Amino acid sequence: MGFTGLARWVNAPVHGSLSIISNNILENYNGKIVGNWNITIKAFRLPMPPFRDMPVPDRIMCTLQMNDSVFVLVEDSVSPERAMVVDPANSGDSFLQSCTHYRTTLVTVRPPMALEQLISQLKSRWVAARQSTSGGAQRNQAMSSQQLTIEGMVFAIGTDWLVRVGNVMLSTREMKGLIIEAEYLPVGRLHSPTVDGTSELLSNMLTALLPPRPDAKTLAVTSNDSQWAGVLSVREDDEAARQQPPKESDVPVEDEDDIYAYGDDPPPPTKGDWFGIDRDRRSAYLVMGGLRSEGLL
């Protein structure tokens, strides 16, 4: 599992776009088909009661099923971003410091149907994002409604790259462009010097895979480290860490005169490294965020 980047071919033709990318990978990069890429994405909303006669925006929940895991992204636009809460300049703000959760929460659920069963048993008011419901039968229909699917293939290019290419389709089978994910396997974490979090290595790879058509409308799906830290963090964990006294490092200081001390030992894994389920989580976050920004969810 490695570091990934996403790109969208928004106006990809309905017929043949997947073949265009596939032939490019197979013929020009000696790629090999190693599997299928299938993702199911659903979007829900939770109507919120007014506060002091003022309307409150609905809470939004998107779910993405990838293999045997479902990644759930919940957004509460009334709650603050993590960066605002942990900023020392806002330490005296009673509203920010009393918040119980951040604006964005990302959790992983297994098995795939567990979340919808829980919501149904609790008789929750979550409904399909593009559907207005009032009855129990309608609610059950809304919870089972499918919003988007991604169907395509996975390619291996040498031993360093995995490329996933798929058509984005509505539940009506109407095609909404194509999405490409390039995964660089040798590294599990890659800090980008750019503000938007883009990587030149991945950008160059994705650009090479996309068709060189003058009418092709393409865009990159990015997220910087600050945004990702806010998604991974839990309010209770941050508060507990803030109240704990600082710990002295128990790692012995290397002797600079020691000929065997090179200082190049690999660092221990940290929260957010792109390995295993963390890679899938960030990939799911980018996919849902990109499609939401286009108004497809």
Average pLDDT over residues 203-223: 87
pLDDT, residue 147, reads 83
pLDDT, residue 242, reads 57
Q: How confident is the model at residue 255 (pLDDT cuts 50, 70, 90)?
A: low
- State the pTM of this model: 0.75
Q: How confident is the model at residue 137 (pLDDT cuts 50, 70, 90)?
A: very low
pLDDT, residue 240, reads 58
pLDDT, residue 104, reads 85
Cα distance between residue 196 and residue 157, in whole Å: 27
Q: Are 183 and 4 in contact (CB under 8 A)?
A: yes
CATH level 3 topology of 3-232+271-293: Hypothetical Protein Pfu-838710-001 (2.40.320)
pLDDT, residue 95, reads 66
pLDDT, residue 82, reads 73
The helix-helix angle for 136-144 and 114-121 (nearest 10°) equals 170
CA 118, 171, 177: angle at the middle one, nearest 5?
120
pLDDT, residue 185, reads 86
pLDDT, residue 131, reads 46
pLDDT at 231 over 50: yes
pLDDT > 70: what percent of the chain? 68
Cα distance between residue 82 and residue 86, in whole Å: 6
pLDDT, residue 199, reads 75
Place of tokens 């295993």: 276
Q: Tell me the per-residue pLDDT of 67-99, one tens digit each, with 9 for 90 and over.
A: 889 999 998 887 777 777 767 666 667 666 777
Distances 116 to 64, 65, 122 between C-alpha atoms, Å: 12, 12, 10
pLDDT, residue 87, reads 72
Q: How confident is the model at residue 157 (pLDDT cuts 50, 70, 90)?
A: very high
pLDDT at 274 over 90: no
pLDDT at 249 over 80: no
pLDDT, residue 156, reads 96
Q: Would you give the end-to-end CA distance of the chain in angstroms? A: 27
Domain ranges of the chain: 3-232+271-293
**Which 8-state DSSP code applies to residue 54?**
B
Average pLDDT over residues 203-222: 87
Cα distance between residue 58 and residue 126, in whole Å: 10
Cα distance between residue 184 and residue 187, in whole Å: 7
pLDDT at 245 over 70: no
Strands 32-46 and 127-128: antiparallel
Place of tokens 């957010």: 272
Amino acid at 170: L
pLDDT at 201 over 90: no
pLDDT at 273 over 50: no
Q: How confident is the model at residue 33 (pLDDT cuts 50, 70, 90)?
A: very high
Average pLDDT over residues 175-198: 76
Q: Tell me the per-residue pLDDT of 52-72, one tens digit each, with 9 for 90 and over.
A: 888 888 889 999 999 889 999
Cα distance between residue 221 and residue 113, in whole Å: 28
